[in-house]
Structure 1
Amino acid sequence: MNFEEHPHRRFDPLRGDWVLVSPHRSRRPWQGQSETPVTEPRPRHDPACYLCAGNQRANGAVNPDYSGPLVFENDFPALLKDTAPAEDARSPLFRSQSACGTSRVICFSERHDQTLPALPVQEIRKVVDVWIREYEDLARTYAWVAIFENKGAMMGSSNPHPHGQIWASDFIPSEVAREDRTQRAFLTEAGTNMLVTYGQEECAQQIRIVLENRDWIAVVPYWAVWPFETLLLPRRHCPRLSDLDTGERDTLADILKRLCKRYDALFDTEFPYSMGWHGAPPAQDDTAHWQLHAHFYPPLLRSATVRKFLVGYELLAEPQRDLTAEQAAARIRALPDQNAEDSEA
């Protein structure tokens, strides 16, 4: 049995699920769907863009002539602040409950032609500060604050302007509740924090680490589902974004730029992904089991035009991948470290 060549399963302790790994399948020819990568340069300001400075949005509101990050209430939010409380539990098979919350948009920059890794580190640091400011504001009212970015049309982004989203809800979503259970159980059974211990062991092995700095590590998790999935972890125990100190915010901006630039260099394209932050729910007092982390889920598999689909077996049985986590990490790690600042266009 050779785990680098033969089919095997890997356990994801964070989700409590298994992942089927089939390394031998990476040699099969591809005759499936190919995507069209973005090749045309974008202007610094697009008069037709709803997110550019000074432009009118779809609901008639006009953006200020902003510079740097901008946050505003989503014009078409998934959650509404004034939803009346209600619950229907007349049958265990037909249950429903109201959902209340708010949705905000964060533009990373006024520049329409920039993505997060194209921004200077000091500008990314401003985005980090806005994430934390918005988290602290919404955490006073809501049970959960979701901070995430969908980058690229392949991941459902309807606008190429660099932006992310912040959704706050009066409930704790299913994925977060699952991670709360698994991390709590690990602390009870093993006596240590799951992701703090995991980060330490990955640093010791240096097999799946793709980037690291003084305060952070980026790793292709042992149990990764997406081909070039990464997990971003602070080195010290830190339950929430709001717990980061000044130095950790600086080094977070640094590693975000370096990681995303390596993604772009992997297939020489603006690498699509969905990323988001998980940490202890705002009202939770017991946070010893929680460790702050960001998931990066990029869909590209073989090139800028071939993506991974979660279909068939993945939907009906369990997640499956061809490229091993170690092979993916080696691919990303081998890229040049592009930490130099970009010159202004």
Structure 2
Amino acid sequence: MPEWRKDPVVDRWVAVSTERAKRPTDYRPPLEQKKQERCPLCEGHEGDTPPEVLAFRKPGSEPNRPGWWVRVVPNKFPACRVEEDNKMTRKDIYYTWCGVGAHEVIVETTDHEPNLINQTEWQVAEVIWAWRARSLDLRRDTRLKYISIFKNKGSVAGASLEHAHSQLIAIPMVPAEIKEELAGVRAYREERGRCVYCDVWQHEAATGERVVVEASHFISFVPYAARFPFEMWILPKKHQRDFADIDEAGVRDLAYVLRESLRRLAWTVYDPPYNLVLHTCPVNDVAEEDYHWHIEILPRLTIIAGFELGTGYYINPTPPEMAAAALREAGKWCPEVISAVQEVRAGV
């Protein structure tokens, strides 16, 4: 029977449609059409982007020249700018805030490659280090209150460039979704005296029903009230409020769990478009010790329509337990399967 499931942190319900459950083979993401003849993110095209703000590169190589393996540049068409004044004005009932902030692109590889899963674990770890370095640097601007790190893979998920990249937008306010999570963790702490996210991952690890990948420091699982088919969360097992507090062992472990989770997603449902979002605590504000940072992987296999937009609730046609079982099973497949899938998706 269909059932409503409540997210353990925020006041959000999901309708899990067990009677019309969709299996992995029921999904056929649209084929991606190649659009660019010249990619501004490829090595050798450094002049096509604004000057880099960070690059991991070979010793002796010059800035804004070849020789890098991860490169961070300001977005050419930014949503906000560091040099703007931090002024808010009011006219009648309306408020306007100058567009202060930062918008950057993290180029995840030198090759024209749309998929992070085809990189080595070491390369994925370098991307994570770049996320951390930029988060630490940007928070020195005390006007900024939240640093959003995210990845859009595929045009359906909002990516305008094929080349594997993620983005960072630093803003002068705390997003409503993070405020809701902060309220949820505080309420849970007051009621039970514990971190809700710690309880969630420990419950998932104990039952194993929705676990996808588990390692020493991180675990990925399909959440109990998953909004999207094959949605996954990745949590650090150590209670840690700020992503930037991650250490070397954590980066190595996260690189493995992140890459393996994305690989299994690609193997299971035909390399779908997805959004990856990192949820972490606000910066330059009162320390939120109850918060627990995490990554959410949101496949774009269904369409967000009127019900979702009108209520903030979701309908998920694939039960989380079914999705997790399929993702675990994908780990037993021959890795070469992904190459065949990608060739079909590319129309080769």
TM-score for the superposition, normalised by structure 1: 0.85
Match runs of 1:208-219 below 5 Å: 208-219=210-221
Q: Which moved more, 1:275-284 or 1:188-197?
A: 275-284
Aligned-partner residue type, residue 68 of structure 1: W
CA, structure 1 residues 312+192, in 2 after alignment: closer, same or farther (shift >3 Å)? Answer: same
- Residue 220 of structure 1 corresponds to 222
Distance 1:111 1:337 in 2: 28
CA, structure 1 residues 27+279, in 2 after alignment: closer, same or farther (shift >3 Å)? Answer: closer
1:243 deviates by 1.3
Whether the aligned pair in 2 keeps the contact of 1:221 and 1:230 (CA below 8 Å) is yes
- Residue 160 of structure 2 corresponds to 158
- Residue 345 of structure 2 corresponds to none
1:247 deviates by 0.8
Q: Which moved more, 1:15-24 or 1:62-71?
A: 62-71
- Residue 294 of structure 1 corresponds to 295
Aligned-partner residue type, residue 126 of structure 1: E
- Residue 45 of structure 2 corresponds to 55
Distance 1:85 1:60 in 2: 23
Aligned-partner residue type, residue 3 of structure 2: H
- Residue 146 of structure 1 corresponds to 148
Distance 1:340 1:284 in 2: 45
CA RMSD of aligned residues (A): 2.9
CA deviation digits over 1:12-66, x for unaligned, max 9? 13332111222112369x99x97532488x9xxx860011122266678795214
CA, structure 1 residues 295+265, in 2 after alignment: closer, same or farther (shift >3 Å)? Answer: same
Distance 1:34 1:114 in 2: 18
Distance 1:155 1:97 in 2: 28
Match runs of 1:82-161 below 5 Å: 82-89=83-90, 94-113=94-113, 115-141=115-141, 142-161=144-163
Q: Which has the higher helix share?
A: 2
Distance 2:182 2:334 in 1: 35
Whether the aligned pair in 2 keeps the contact of 1:258 and 1:339 (CA below 8 Å) is no
Residue 19 (structure 1) aligned with residue 20 (structure 2) = no
Distance 1:268 1:55 in 2: 31
Residue 336 (structure 1) aligned with residue 331 (structure 2) = yes
1:80 deviates by 1.7
1:316 deviates by 2.3
Whether the aligned pair in 1 keeps the contact of 2:280 and 2:293 (CA below 8 Å) is yes
CA deviation digits over 1:170-192, x for unaligned, max 9? 11122112211111221122210
Distance 1:59 1:255 in 2: 31
SS in structure 2 of the partner of residue 254 of structure 1: helix
CA, structure 1 residues 39+167, in 2 after alignment: closer, same or farther (shift >3 Å)? Answer: closer
Aligned-partner residue type, residue 226 of structure 2: A
Whether the aligned pair in 2 keeps the contact of 1:261 and 1:338 (CA below 8 Å) is no
Distance 2:264 2:130 in 1: 24
CA deviation digits over 1:244-281, x for unaligned, max 9? 12111111111111111111111343x31111111111
CA deviation digits over 1:102-139, x for unaligned, max 9? 11111001011352111011111111111111111112
Unaligned stretches of 5+ in structure 1?
A: 1-5, 301-307
SS in structure 2 of the partner of residue 69 of structure 1: strand
TM-score for the superposition, normalised by structure 2: 0.84
Percent same amino acid among aligned pairs? 27
Residue 309 (structure 1) aligned with residue 310 (structure 2) = no
CA, structure 1 residues 68+337, in 2 after alignment: closer, same or farther (shift >3 Å)? Answer: farther
CA deviation digits over 1:268-322, x for unaligned, max 9? 43x311111111112244332111100111012xxxxxxx011122222331112
Distance 1:101 1:111 in 2: 29
1:76 deviates by 0.6
Whether the aligned pair in 1 keeps the contact of 2:81 and 2:100 (CA below 8 Å) is yes
Question: Deviating runs (4+, > 4 A) in structure 1?
Answer: 56-63, 88-91, 337-343
Distance 1:57 1:26 in 2: 49
Distance 2:323 2:139 in 1: 36
1:83 deviates by 2.9
SS in structure 2 of the partner of residue 290 of structure 1: coil
Distance 1:328 1:241 in 2: 27
- Residue 317 of structure 2 corresponds to 322
Residue 249 (structure 1) aligned with residue 251 (structure 2) = yes
Match of 1:196 among 195, 198, 201: 198
Unaligned stretches of 5+ in structure 2?
A: 53-63, 340-348
Distance 1:151 1:198 in 2: 27
